[in-house]
Structure 1
């Protein structure tokens, strides 16, 4: 990262509001055309803000000054409750800031928080090729597990350590 950015645990109301904006804006940028528009439109800025304020734990924000440009959410266990597996629940960077290595730095910081995990999983929407390429470059691989949601099919990717 050539400019000055910082990645910190989300704590303040301003960071929560910034995370909410990134979540909402990235949702619009990423999923329009990949899932039914009704699902894209269903996530409002108000809903994203409610979630950010209700569940601030295990969230990192990527900031330049006071502006939140990206965030990640993670869990220290997977769906089965295994304490050997962590999960990247979400990782978003505003479109205008993609391609600068910020997502990579955010992923590294997230993985540092999951350093004691033998493996890390994440779910990616089928057809989200940009995200798939990003995760594959980081070392994630498909494990042939899928789950179908109302908005589309998600594919599980795993990084073994």
Structure 2
């Protein structure tokens, strides 16, 4: 599958909000309540992506993957949020039909390279866990839950 990696642009905000929501539906449908994906949730993603695209902080690493004129994935990384003295992968999402295409690896490499990093992965996401293990990450025993999503437990991985 041919793809291009590039920085997100203001014109991408709507597509990114839609993509983010689609990826969450594909990844977490079995962990989230059926009423999670509301119009308000989509609007929240639009606001988030508007801020992320406009943010000029050079420490924030953002990249999108495009294939056949459509955004199919994205990755975000930056300074550690929990006091870690290493990069943190904030998110990496890819449409299910693109899994195994090399796009996910391209996204990860674009935002982290081979630098030491930390990430949080949802428990019950074996595909993501295997991907991160192949890239040198290992669980360190820490876990947390998002106050807004108490049913989703996240596990920390380091490299």
Pick the TM interval, shorter chain.
0.7 to 0.9
Alpha-carbon distance in structure 1 between the residues aligned to 2:151 and 2:48: 19
Alpha-carbon distance in structure 1 between the residues aligned to 2:27 and 2:109: 21
Counterpart in the other structure of 1:99: 100
Greater than 3 Å deviation, 4+ residue runs: 35-38
| Residue segments in structure 1 that go unaligned for 5+ positions in a row | none
Which aligned pairs between 1:79-118 and structure 2 lie closer than 5 A?
A: 79-80=82-83, 82=84, 84-112=85-113, 117=115
Deviation at 1:65, TM superposition (A): 4.8
SS in 1 for 2:37: helix
Matched residue pairs, number?
149
Q: Identify which of 46, 50, 69 aligns with 2:47.
A: 50
Alpha-carbon distance in structure 2 between the residues aligned to 1:10 and 1:111: 17
Deviation at 1:147, TM superposition (A): 1.0
Which aligned pairs between 1:120-159 and structure 2 lie closer than 5 A?
A: 120-149=117-146, 150-159=150-159
Asked if structure 2 preserves the Cα contact closer than 8 Å seen for 1:59 and 1:71, the reply is yes
Alpha-carbon distance in structure 2 between the residues aligned to 1:108 and 1:95: 19
Alpha-carbon distance in structure 2 between the residues aligned to 1:9 and 1:76: 18
Asked if structure 1 preserves the Cα contact closer than 8 Å seen for 2:77 and 2:112, the reply is no
SS in 1 for 2:71: strand
TM-score by length of 1: 0.82
| Residue segments in structure 2 that go unaligned for 5+ positions in a row | 56-60
Alpha-carbon distance in structure 2 between the residues aligned to 1:132 and 1:17: 29
Cα root mean square deviation, aligned = 2.0
Alpha-carbon distance in structure 2 between the residues aligned to 1:101 and 1:107: 10
SS in 2 for 1:44: helix
